[in-house]
Structure 1
Amino acid sequence: MTLVRTLLEIPELRLRLRTGSALLGREISRIYVTELPDPSRYVSAGEVVLTGLLWWRQPGDAEPFVAALARAGVAALAASGADTEGIPDDVVRACAQHRIPLLEVPSDLSFAVVTERVVLALAADRGREPSGARKRLLTTAEASLPVLLHQGARELGAPCWVLSATGRVVAGTAPDAPSAEWLNPERERTVHERYTLLPVRGRFRLPWILAVGSPETGDLADELAGLVGLARARAEQVRRTADRAAEPLFTALGGGSGDLAAAFAATGRAESVRVVLVRTPDDLAAELLAELVADLSASTGFLGEDACAVVDADERWPSDWATMARHGLSIVDHLVGLPRVSVGIGGPATVDGLRGAAQEARQAAEVASRRPDPLGVVAGEDIAVHRLLVAGAPDELRRSVRARVLGDLLAYDAAQGTDLVRTVRVFLECSSSPTAAAKALHVHVNTLRYRIARASELLGLDLNDFPTQVDVYLALQA
């Protein structure tokens, strides 16, 4: 049988035992890679859990993660501390407390290599060599996703696709990809007519989906899904590196130190760009944003608490991007459930107008957050200018303006049971036409004129004066 100590004896892995020397006799059933802060739904007894500790941010994070492994009966934890300058002490302490052997993976060792060696050890222990198909598939473990999928399709004898949580086709070996919406997120695999869909687990909250063009797939499809997860992790590392290079741009864009023009030039973005901003009540915004702009040329980062992307406004920017984003978010909501998501779009703009485009995106996201649809996507260019300006004003200022301009009229309506505020609004929205406003309110035009005169008297303003009309209308919008 393959034991935890067996892994320590594989010279290519160079694993180092950090704690759990008395527990090395535990039997291993398989290997599972994850970066989820709470992996309890996906781990099971006898597994070796492999992690890059991307879920660890501060002391205390290890306790719930390791406790979940212990409850599941995991055989061991193998961790690489490349992003945390070694394995944090509280991870070691939590493993010791919950009796989970902890193996340190060298930072220069690919997880694909670890997975391959463990799979081969398990196969040898079961008295059989891995099938030729599995061996051939494992040889592409560190290849690009298209190469990996083509090998998988060849071994499975069926076309393969990888779909994102928004329904985007990440890669595929044939046209006519199935829909991501067919996946049942409660099952390990979903068979839909002539397709099999498997969720690709890993460090991400938004899953990828492996789709195979056959209703009958064996363990090899699960193996392929695992390798797809490793390919995604490698791609994410590349993206994170690019994001670090773009940090000066977002620092300068947010009003911090640095030359905005120089930082913009360093990113290599096009002359004209758009700004996309995603706001959520949790920490999902960055992952959602990365997925929404995945097919575009973009630099991503943060503006305050909001995830932000500066996107080339070239021919790759679809004219119906907002509609596409709403549809993608609805698929994500079906698969994993989403909190309120507000997406704002600003621009297009050159570097000289970039800060303005970022402000426009922020205000568009604010407008989206006030709409009843919990998955809101709003472009600044689709908002009337007066609404965009009002949305940008702080709440306190809007309340103050409303009270100062409309206070006496609001008080009169409350005391008398009238609705002069609505009369004024309709009058202004009808371009100050008494005839049109009277028709909209279903009253005689003389009644309308009387009400406007009374409202003017209460406000102490001339509602036939255009600048006054603008002030009053903005106060109504506030």
Structure 2
Amino acid sequence: MPDPAVPPAPPTPAVPLAALLAREDLALRQIAGPSDPPPVVHAAHTSEMADPYPYLLGGELLLTAGVHIPDAAGSGTYFDDYVSRIVAAGGAALGFGLVPVHDTVPRALVEACDTYGLPLVEVPPQTPFTAVARAVWQLLAQARLAELRRVTEAQQSLATAAARPDPVPSVLRQLAQRVGGWTALYGPEGAEIASAGRRPEAPQTASLAELAEVVRPSGPGTPASATHATAGTHLAAYALSTGFVLGVATPAREPGDHTITSVAAVLLTLLTGEQQSGSGAARTSALVRLLLGGTTEEVAPLLGRGDTWFVVHASPNDQRDRANLLVGARGPADMRLRRGARPATTHPQPPDLLAATALGASLGSTLIDPVGDIVQVLVPADRAPQPQPGWTLGVSAPAPPQHLSAAAAQASRALARARATRTPLVRHRTRPALDDLVPREAAQAHARELLEPLAEHPALVETLRTWLSLHGSWDRTAVALSVHRNTVRQRIARSAELLRVELDDPDVRMELWFALRQE
């Protein structure tokens, strides 16, 4: 005896039965069975078998002319048995064709369909079953095309969200919008760290958190995903390889939702993940050695991929979430430094760790260090940093590990220039300059003597350096330093007063610029 349990519907877009009934060329009419919830059809199948169960996969509109009905069927249990078997097989609806076998739909069949909750549709004599089947396939094709378009557009929007300065919240928001529900990201410890969309009731939220624990990696056999339906809400949890879990709560489960959510899960894995291959232990060793007084030359090889890095600070264009990023360089024992400026606000906000992690991932590194209102990231030498959407970058000249401080200053100035000129990336010029003609020790001694009156005024030094690098532009200097243009004027005037020089003199400007470059 076959299992009477109803099989699941096929994972494809369905056609509302109402769409078929609305076709005037078919003239179909529902005469029995429920209409709420609205019945849906996944296929059309014609059969005159007395027991169609073995031939149904579930979700079909079964078409019959009643050839199989015996003459005495109305007085026994024939119609109850027939309808119950269709329901057990997962049939979506029954279409009964009039003439030439039956002039009307048997009354006992109508009663059986009402009893077992199977929609019964009357097919008029002028409508062949092939026309009904063709209409079903046409509607299915339209539904599949619409679903494909929906999935494609969702994938594109998720990819765009992943490239934003706040990628993780953006991906969650876009996913919630695309599936029409609520999304949440749970951290490795199980805490909810980000969410988007309309939050469901507390019981559903708690159930989703419990479902997230089911898929959290805990050993062999842990499922990668799990679903659960409760109180009219469909819950789904997806384990990310980084220890995070993506949770989704929706009123219903559409065929394309799994595909869309899987794309989001892949993106979130990349955005929150750390590169494996034993790098974690090496980074720990590097930190311990630094804390115990190790030199940069000793620590650099522990970070992997050689002994050279790009050290970068990146400033996000979004004023609500500013951060700086350090990334490492390429070449024998050299480094490039990219640095971002502080946000244009008197109350710096802590950087978004997820956004910083995502930026580090896009630059090819997980070596990030949020500090204050900036984030520092070290990128291996074989990953030359490129401009990033939503970020402004400054790049230093190549520098060995022992010269990172000087490279950082170069990168800071490069970023200030990038922000002032609204350029995505500015690199420190590396061609031979005046510096190469003067011994470094002599140049530094001259710089200390010349700038000694400003030694206790770091704000004046930085303002003077930026103002000179921007050719004396008050407005661009104000933008680069995130201060008012009148503040720039006051600082420059004070610097000229302390130095006892005339800053309109190009020779004076050149000498000061040379000295400032030696710091």
* TM interval, short-chain normalised: 0.3 to 0.5
Length-normalised TM-score, structure 2: 0.35
User: Highest CA radius of gyration, 1 or 2?
Assistant: 2
